[in-house]
Amino acid sequence: MQDQDQTERQASARGTPGEVFITFLKLGLTSFGGPIAHLGYFREELVKRRKWLSDPAYADLVALCQFLPGPASSQVGFALGLMRAGWLGALAAFTAFTLPSALMLLVFAMTAARIAGPLGSGALHGLKIVAVAIVAQAVWGMAKALCPDKERAAIAVVAVALLAFLPGALGMIGAILAGAALGLVLGRGTGAPIGGPIAMPVTRGMAVLALLVFLGLLGLLPLLAGHGQALAVVDSFTRAGALVFGGGHVVLPLLEAEVVQPGWVTPDAFLAGYGAAQAVPGPLFTFAAYLGAVLGPEPNGVTGAAIALVAVFLPGFLILIGVLPFWDRFRSMARAQSLMQGANAAVVGILGAALYTPVFTSAITDLRDLTLALACFVLLVAWKMPPWGVVIAAALGGIGLGILG
């Protein structure tokens, strides 16, 4: 094991930020299908083809990033860049993987308002409808993986019940905490680690500093949010990025609570952007760039997109840096695993509640809309069509519905 770790450290030392940037730019332009698919692309390109690290080490890194809040695939990419070429490599990996989809969604945000007529409005309506199918697929897949028994299924229902009586971000925080507590009581964690040690150039001092910054942002930003709209935007997107467990789709209800409920973004614009986000490669978190661009109050446009994008990604990277030196010990604690199992089950309930509102209630107005949504769901689940293909089909379907009146 020591020889294997030494070989991996030597291999990572040979990397350069430029190499990392080119490699992840290719992935950022071609990685469709969401975080689970992204992890498959990473393994094929970086483990099997380029041999940057071994399969056990990659599996352990994936386990760590799925354990933490934040965008799992982007966190894995950040960590791989860090292993390969240090801190500049981490920045290169994040920038190259994120920029293509962020720019595409920014262009969509800047042009969507100019789309008029039955063709344009029909396509936008189709994007809202396809969001129903995509979120339903995410709920279905996550429920099978994260609620495999009756106890964890019950935790998901408890999360929905909490949101029914306590909507918004406060209800989501309460649901995650309740799920974690119930998971701890359930005690299904085994304490069995996955893979081998993860070698990273992160000292304990750096880790502690990152955790302090993470906690400081969560504690101070709500106090500063009243001193300007820019700080309010940073606060909202930082909180959303810090509370995402279980995959990119879970950011949907969090962002909806932060930007739609205060009236910064209309429900129609929110769902149209979410639908468009399914048609582009790269991380789903770049949906934040679209939202930052279409915010009603300033900052919006390019400035709003940049602020929202940095704010939503930063918490996940800070907490990843903060736990790297301590992960080998923490992952072997059965109670920690039990706690996260309960939190992940609660996430399924949160996403299920979001499927009903705002996604379904805002997009489905009659039986024709429901028919198109069901067709999209079947294309995703039964026909295994890639999400970008289903998005195009939904846009064409929406145009057809618009023409038919």
Are the C-beta atoms of residues 199 and 7 closer than 8 Å to each other?
no
Query: Long-range pairs for 354-361 at CB < 8 Å and ≥24 separation?
Result: 354/135, 354/252, 354/253, 354/256, 355/132, 355/135, 355/136, 355/139, 358/256, 358/260, 358/267, 358/270, 358/271, 359/131, 359/132, 359/135, 359/252, 359/271, 360/132
Pair 105, 254: CB distance under 8 Å: no
In whole angstroms, give the CA distance from residue 380 to residue 160. 25
Q: Where are the beta strands (DSSP E) in 7-76?
A: none
Sequence-ordered list of residues with C-beta below 8 angstroms from that of 224, at least 6 positions apart, any chain: 231, 235
Q: Radius of gyration of the chain from Cα atoms? A: 21
Tell me the C-alpha distance between 318 and 37, whole Å: 24
- Helix segments in 147-203, DSSP class H: 150-165, 169-186
Domain boundaries, the chain: 2-95, 105-404
What is this structure's pTM? Answer: 0.78
Helical ranges in 113-168 per DSSP H: 117-146, 150-165
Length of the chain: 405
Residues 380, 130: Cα–Cα separation, whole Å:
10
pLDDT (tens, 9 = 90+) of the chain, 405 residues, equals 444 454 444 444 468 999 999 999 999 998 876 776 688 788 889 988 899 988 767 877 876 787 788 898 899 999 999 999 999 999 999 999 999 999 999 999 998 767 666 788 888 788 889 878 887 887 888 788 889 999 999 999 999 999 899 877 678 778 888 998 999 999 887 766 555 555 688 999 999 999 999 999 999 999 999 999 999 999 999 999 998 875 667 788 889 999 999 999 999 999 999 988 888 888 989 999 999 999 998 999 999 999 999 999 999 999 999 998 887 777 678 888 888 788 888 878 887 888 898 779 888 999 999 999 999 999 989 998 887 888 899 999 999 998 887
189 with 336: CB under 8 angstroms? yes
